[in-house]
Amino acid sequence: MATTTKSRKAKQTKKTNKGSKAKKTLSKKNLDSKNVKDTVTKVVETKREMKYIYPEGMDDQVEKKKWRQKVRNKIYKFERDIQKLEGKEAKAKEKKYATYRKEVLQVP
């Protein structure tokens, strides 16, 4: 008799597990469809290659790398500052940014 009760309990637990799994998958599908509607799509901005105009006499690769990093940091700083400013200040900063890009990059 002891073995029959164990097998009955095992069968009962299997049945309840199947039922709960089905409920979980249904609720997950409903949640996924709601999340798809609510999520905001992100636009991933691709970084294009920047071609630099190096200062004269710069032949060492390490120096070039250091210089490129400085240029990129300055460009990113300009972009951040422009977003923060408004009106005439922003326009003046944009002009400085454009002239700097013309000095430093081959294709501004």
pLDDT tens for each residue of 63-98: 999 999 999 999 999 999 999 998 899 999 999 999
Q: Where are the domains of the chain?
A: 1-43, 45-108
> Which residue has 């469809």 as its token pair?
33
**Nearest residue to 104 (alpha-carbon basis) of 57, 60, 70, 59:** 70
The pLDDT of residue 104 is above 60: yes
pTM for the whole structure: 0.53
Residue 39 has a pLDDT of 62
Q: 53 falls in which pLDDT band (50, 70, 90)?
A: very high
> Which residue has 């003046």 as its token pair?
92
As a whole number of angstroms, the distance between CA 31 and CA 39 comes to 12
Look at residue 56 and give its three-state secondary structure. Answer: coil
